[in-house]
Amino acid sequence: MKKDFASLDRFDRRILHELQTNGRLPNSELAKRLNLSESTCLRRTQNLEQCGLIRGYVGLVDQTQAGYPDNVFVQITLASQQRAELEAFEVAVRDLPEVMECYTMTGEADFMLRVVARGAADYERIHRRHLTRLPGVDRVHSNFALRTVVKRTEVPVREP
């Protein structure tokens, strides 16, 4: 059951906002904040889950405290643009736990990755043992982030 984002009313949007801010918010508190009955609030939340707008609930771990203070943005260019090579790369990159995000790109690089590392030596290990050995890799271009300025987990839920 796919729900069109534009068809969401103000209550659905508020539910999405509140749960993105605090996914552990009890339904009773959420209902109170929205001035809805608990049963109505629960039904609406379940509908948002069933239609896929709410994909799940997670705890956000501080990556620095977990021992991964560095973000490295990695552009990867493959030797071939054949579908089989692209798919082989995508399957293999999913198995690297330090790769937090991977996007197919337009422009010079085929993929952009955000890799977490314990430092330069750790990234060098990841680069040498893993990234350069991924299927079809022709070129790897890496940039260390100096500091995070903005990092959001909340998707805007304003009126379209």
Which domain range does residue 39 map to?
Answer: 5-50
What is the identity of the amino acid at 130? H
Q: CATH number of the domain that 31 lies in?
A: 1.10.10.10
Say which residues have a Cβ less than 8 Å from residue 112's Cβ, sequence separation at least 6.
73, 74, 75, 76, 101, 102, 103, 105
Look at residue 25 and tell me if it is in a domain. yes
Look at residue 124 and tell me if it is in a domain. yes
Both 39 and 86 in one domain: the answer is no
Look at residue 30 and tell me if it is in a domain. yes
pTM: 0.89
Both 37 and 77 in one domain: the answer is no
pLDDT, tens only, 91-147: 999 999 999 999 999 999 999 999 999 999 999 999 999 999 999 999 999 999 999
Output DSSP code: residue 23. T
